[in-house]
Amino acid sequence: MSEGASLVMESSENGTDLSQDDNGTIVEMPEDTILSQQTSVNLVPFIGQRFVSQDAAYEFYCSFAKQCGFSIRRHRTRGKDGIGRGVTRRDFTCHRGGYPQMKLSEDGKMQRNRKSSRCGCRAYMRIVKRADFNVPEWRVTAFSNIHNHELLKANEVCLLPAYCTITPDDKARICMFAKAGMSVRQMLRLMELEKGIKLGCLPFTEIDVRNLLQSFRNVNRDNDPIDLIAMCKKLKDENPNFQYDFKLDGHNRLEHIAWTYASSVQLYVSFGDAVVFDTTHRLDAYDMLLGVWVGVDNHGMTTFFGCVLLRDENIQSFSWGLKTFLGFMKGKAPQTLLTDQNMWLKEAIAVEMPETKHAFSICHIISKFSDWFSVLLGSRYDDWKSDFYRLYGLELLEEFEEEWREMIDKYGLHDNKHIISLYALRTFWALPFLRPYFFAGLTSLCQSETTTTFIQRILSAQSRLDRFVEQVAEVVEFNDRAGSKQKQPRKSQKVCLKTGSPIESHAATVLTPYAFGKLQEELLLAPQYASFVVDEGCFEVKHHTQMDGGCKVICVLCEEQISCSCHHFEFSGILCRHVLRVLSSNNCFHIPDPYLPSRWRLNSSSSINPLSNATREHSEKIQLLESLTSALIAESIETKERLDVACEQTAMVLSHIKDLPRTTQSANDIVYNCPSDLILPEVEDTDGIVRSFTMGTSHEPLTSGKLKDRRPRDGIDITRKRRHYSDSCCGHFEHDSSDCPMMEGDNLNGDALGYI
């Protein structure tokens, strides 16, 4: 494509042109755009084009750039991986975009002015993250193909460094050819014949292959594994809680090795209910398979549980890895385990973790669609993929089975081996079959991207094995620090309220910002649904535009029994819009404790579980104690003097508690003397008003308005200036303040409880 035949397409909110440095908002694109094929095709990017991931958009634009005669690079982003919503915008630019910058050397002198290919080219493509029907996707919102330099010819563009890449499969082939004693030229010729391409048209050159082989020779396959074991032993000596295990083969060479850290074991206790076991990466230099166990914490951040290196990819190797991991975690298997579609691993999990629900990551399945179906379906490929996404997200099994048959008939895929395999394994990947199990959001495409990004940080195919262990430790330590910083109690943590619902206000004081955001999404959609009483404690909930169907909700608050046929709570640990609609319609103003899981709470702890049978009757007091602890930490870390006093006094209190008898008393016989001025996180409403929740005893309600710490002066009641409501009670329906069980025996009336 010549420089004159360039194309510029951009979009902005006010209809004016967008420059590459524009930071304005991006206009919403029409809904009739198509989900683009992520393989190399003769298409030009256009506004509204959609991709399933950043990588798919990058591959498409890279293919387009190669056809035009230039290469691309990743430029700026908006957002940050692992925090909040993650990256929400990405720019891809021409490799000659921008200008070279002079850098200072370590001694403060300017480096010599090396020549650079950058000349300020403004060709770029911008993608923005959107989520339709809870399926995240990336849309093209700006595109420019104007270059201020000459574009390369087809025989020249292949020499650009961006296109001289060697895929993992090609690396494995080259490694195998080298073991067979083949020369580099023989390798290249054989690979050209295998791929059916012309001489000299491989995406890499002879020099690239020689550099790869040299990097393999730089590693010591005999000594490095020994150094790895020695490194693990050293870490074990430094920290007895560090755990590792290994297996040697018949020739006394390292066959398998696995390790985990003390912090990882501790995190697994609280967040090991849903786990991802990623085995899609290899250390090519050592010809070993890398397996990484990760999960997600109560703040939605990726947590590291363990790592394993396996010499072979078979049932025996995977079984050893799973047994070792269970040994690290004291025999506790996860409730759910997400992996790639590996049949050997599937068999090993069925044997070693029979009680665990095993599922396949949908991302790994989707990544194969272009190879499986793009040529077969041709122009209908995009329509088929849209139909598949809709099938994947259905709620009812009957709907899935019926519409799957309709899809096969529509596209004539009755004899396709991939379709047959997908259907046979549907219980491992289709959401209608997975919703009754808890996955903590790990099945979402967004969370899969975050997990992949985390694993990429610890990957270095050419590093030494002992250095690899250090790399993993550094990444885990960095991730733990980032998580601790995000979880650190703050004196004023603002949360934006969007509905004004008492349920929302209550949840904001209990859940982490990540979990509260998920619940808030459901709360915002709840008013769109209608609730109908079918029987006592049984409701039918359906969208206001829906004539038939709907979800069946069971809600018996006196027995703390809530369920919905959509299984959203079982799947994510967050109540669905259907249940929230029923709670609102029945004048329930807070969510019962069992449906605010401890793993999503601000103070998630495995040692204190307020929802367990033994402590359920004291759950409110335990929540208050957790809040007091958070406030104590927040106040103590201000100065060293405060911290010293806090440590000293806390040790005295703990010693006194240990001396008390362990007799069992009923909840009504226990007296709690707690301060009434504990300030919980501030909540900011959408109108900008900051609401600060104050919690005292279990009978003191939440207050609104920004209140300062109030202390009684001269015996005067500081609450006398507050306005009162006369008919408030605990929030449960079917009774009023006159017979409220929480007020019984305390000589309190509705006015004493109704502060706002």
Asked which of 220-224, 372-376, 391-395, 586-590 is least confident by mean pLDDT, the reply is 220-224
Cα–Cα distance measured from residue 453 to residue 448, given in angstroms and rounded to the nearest whole number: 9
Quick one: which of 647, 624, 652 has its CA closest to 636?
A: 647
Q: For 690-742, where are the E strands, in sequence order?
A: 690-695
Determine the Cα–Cα distance for residues 325 and 304; give it in Å rounded to an integer. 12
Alpha helices by DSSP H, listed for 488-512, are 502-508
User: Which pairs with CB-CB distance under 8 Å and at least 24 residues apart come from 619-624?
Assistant: 619/593, 620/593, 620/698, 621/670, 621/672, 621/698, 623/510, 623/593, 624/672, 624/674, 624/678, 624/695, 624/698
Does the structure show a pLDDT above 90 at 575? yes
Residues belonging to the chain: 756
pLDDT of residue 604: 61
pLDDT of 725 strictly over 50: no
**pLDDT over 70, % of the chain:** 71
For residues 753 and 723, the answer to whether their CB atoms sit within 8 Å is no
Average pLDDT over residues 583-595: 88
pLDDT confidence of residue 651: 85
Tokens representing 168? 């993992």
The count of other CB atoms within 10 Å of the CB of residue 64 is 21
Cα separation, 216 vs 283, in Å, equals 11
Of 117-126, 302-311, 348-357, 607-616, the least confident: 607-616
pLDDT tens readout for residues 406-424: 999 999 999 999 999 999 9
Q: Which of 16-20, 353-357, 530-534, 654-658 has the highest mean pLDDT?
A: 353-357
Q: Quick one: DSSP state of residue 464?
A: -
Q: How many alpha carbons fall within 13 Å on the CB side of residue 297?
A: 28
Q: Count CB atoms within 10 A of the CB of residue 59.
A: 16
Better-predicted residue by pLDDT, 734 or 511:
511
Question: Which pLDDT tens digit goes with each residue over 674-694?
Answer: 333 333 444 444 444 444 443
Which pLDDT score is estimated for 134? 58
- Per the confidence metrics, is the pTM higher than 0.75? no
HSE-up (13 A, CA, CB side) for residue 369: 24
The one-character DSSP state at 52 is: S
- Tens-digit pLDDT profile for residues 478-495: 776 666 665 555 434 567
Cβ-contact 497, 684 below 8 angstroms: yes
Residue appearing with tokens 């295990």: 245
**Tell me, what's the pLDDT at 67?**
85
Evaluate if residue 605 carries a pLDDT over 70. Answer: no
Of the segments 44-53, 141-150, 319-328, which one has the largest average pLDDT value?
A: 319-328
Q: What is the pLDDT of residue 607?
A: 36
Mean pLDDT within 577-594:
90
Q: How far is residue 349's CA from residue 353's CA, in Å, rounded to a whole number?
A: 5
User: Does the pLDDT at position 311 exceed 70?
Assistant: yes
C-alpha angle with apex 237: 235 to 243, nearest 5 degrees? 55
pLDDT for residue 411: 92
Q: Contact 140/48 with Cβ under 8 angstroms?
A: yes
Q: Is the pLDDT of residue 702 over 70?
A: no
Say what the pLDDT of residue 588 is.
Answer: 87
Q: What is the DSSP track for 220-250? A: -TTHHHHHHHHHHHHHHHH-TT-EEEEEE-T
User: In this predicted structure, what is the pLDDT of residue 700?
Assistant: 37
Number of other residues whose CB lies within 10 A of the CB of residue 243? 21
Please tell me the predicted confidence (pLDDT) of residue 323: 95
502-520 mean pLDDT: 90
pLDDT of residue 710: 40
Tell me the DSSP string of 385-404.
Answer: HHHHHHHHT-S-HHHHHHHH
Q: How far is it, in rounded angstroms, from Cα 497 to Cα 517? A: 10
CA angle 590, 595, 601 (to 5 degrees): 90
pLDDT above 50: residue 516: yes
CB 193: neighbour CB atoms within 10 A? 10
Name the token pair of 676: 């009434």
246: left (phi over 0), alpha (psi -120 to 50) or beta: beta
Q: Quick check: 437 pLDDT over 80?
A: yes
Q: Is the pLDDT of residue 514 over 50?
A: yes
Q: What angle in degrees, to the nearest 10, is found between the helix axes of 381-392 and 369-377? A: 130
| Mean of the per-residue pLDDT values of the chain | 75
